[in-house]
Amino acid sequence: MATPHSCTKRCLSVVALLSLTFHSRLNGDEQSDWPRWRGPTGQGRAKGAALPTEWPAKLDPAWEATLGSGWSSPVVSAGRVFVTDRQDDRERAVAFDASSGKELWQRADPVDFDPHQVGARHGNGPKSTPAVDDGKVYSLGIAGRLQCLDAGSGKRIWEVNFPAKYGTRERLAGGRAYVKGTDSVIVPVAKEEGAPVPLFGYTGSVLVAGGLVISPVGGENAGTIMAFDAKTGKEVWRALNDEVSYSSPLAAKLAGIEQVVVMTGPEVVGLELKTGRKLWSSPFQIQYNESISTPAVADPYVVVTGDGRPLTAFKISRRGEGCSLDVAWQNRDLSSYLSSMLIHDGHVYGMNNEGEFACVRLSDGKTVWIDGRHGYYCTPLLADGQLLCLNQKGELLVLAATPKSFQPLATIAPKSFPPLTTIKLTERATWTSPALVGKWLYVRAQERLLAFELK
């Protein structure tokens, strides 16, 4: 017969096992998780996805949750969906059960930020997508609050307030945040004091790699890109003195070296992951320093684009302790202001500023095919040989990821673009990239989080 003592030990063992299992899952043991902007590798590729054998004409959400403003993408880890938003003067990080949509926790902090009027239509909520790693959620707010939260409880572990710590202090006009010319927004950092942040806020998504949290920072007292210890938030390195862009850094191994690839305002750069040492760089100036898309990488190539610039491939080679680069090719068929590209089986896929999709050969930059029309914005993801392409109007286009031809796979043509076959997901705007985990597709729509079970 079991004694009270043995029952207690057994119960404690079960609790410990469940806790260990939960934290093991939070640590990213499930390959199908979508733990950061553009998925596990930051390249838009889903692992272990279960797509329908035939796509339906319409998909209805299995559950949805009401959100505030913001355009950060959802991320998924260990059966939980994490997303950030803004409600009134509070910026939140929120966790939901991935299957039911039940809210598990939320963390709210004050925020005071209004963008330049050009960016007002996209709201004043967070646009940087959080990242989940080792049981922690890392998020960057629109006004530069970088924080680390426990993924299980939402408890804050550490934070770094960029304008307060690295910004140049000045008196606030009218006692609150305000737009300063064409350069920055001044946000409160202390009583009657403010400091500048980028004109449209911090929008680049954080990168967690090698025990570091890497983020754009900028300002006179900081580096363009900085790395912080993932456990403590302490500064590890800072790099460059360029203008901060709106693009997201990416980790990749190029020429045998682990690197951070990032677009700043005036250039594209490779930095050594451990130290931030510059390995290579090339001018790539975008008007108003508005680099937005994320680079696509397939060793030895780094592929970038931007407003008014062609799709450009740099070939990275080892040279001594650093790297050299050559412009391998340029292609204007796939130039894009907002959308990021995807590389698959030696080809680059994406949508240009005219809404056309194109397939470009990676080795020489030749256009293999170009066809269709799908709106103004789309950053595709790849799963099971298919490209899932969500535009800004809530329309999902599914394409075969093949250089043979432009091959739509969905089954209904909406009124907006009759030549294509797309699936209507929502009537709300969808200015971000979805997350795909197993049979679940998670979509951030305007003031909504939608979960679709793909059957």
Q: Can you tell me whether residue 298 is helix, strand or coil?
A: strand
Starting at the edge strand found earlier in the chain, the sheet holding 267-272 runs 250-254, 257-263, 267-272, 278-283
Instruction: Tally the C-alpha atoms within 13 A of residue 356's C-alpha that lie toward its C-beta.
Output: 12
List residues bridging with 297 in a β-sheet: 302
What's the burial of 257, exposed, middle or buried (CB within 10 Å: 0-12/13-18/19+)? buried
Instruction: Tally the C-alpha atoms within 13 A of residue 320's C-alpha that lie toward its C-beta.
Output: 5
Mean pLDDT by 10 residues, the chain (455 residues): 40 39 40 91 95 87 98 98 97 98 98 87 92 98 98 98 95 88 91 93 97 94 96 98 93 98 94 98 89 96 94 97 95 95 98 96 98 93 96 95 92 43 91 96 98 94
Encode pLDDT of 294-332 as tens digits. 999 999 999 999 988 999 999 999 999 999 999 999 999
Q: Can you tell me whether residue 348 is helix, strand or coil?
A: strand
State how far the alpha carbon of 149 is from the alpha carbons of 153, 356, 368, 441, in Å: 8, 40, 45, 24
pTM: 0.91
Contact 286, 245 (CB under 8 A): yes
Burial 222-256 (b: 16+ CB within 10 A, else e): bbbbbbbebeebebbbbbbebbbbbbbbbbbebbe
The torsion defined by the Cα of 122, 420, 440 and 39, in degrees rounded to 10, comes to -60
Encode pLDDT of 365-385 as tens digits. 999 999 999 989 999 999 999
Encode pLDDT of 87-146 as tens digits. 999 999 999 999 999 999 999 999 999 988 887 878 899 999 999 999 999 999 999 999
Alpha-carbon torsion 353, 355, 358, 362, what sign?
positive
How far apart CA 351 and CA 293 sit, in angstroms, is: 12
Cα radius of gyration (the chain): 22
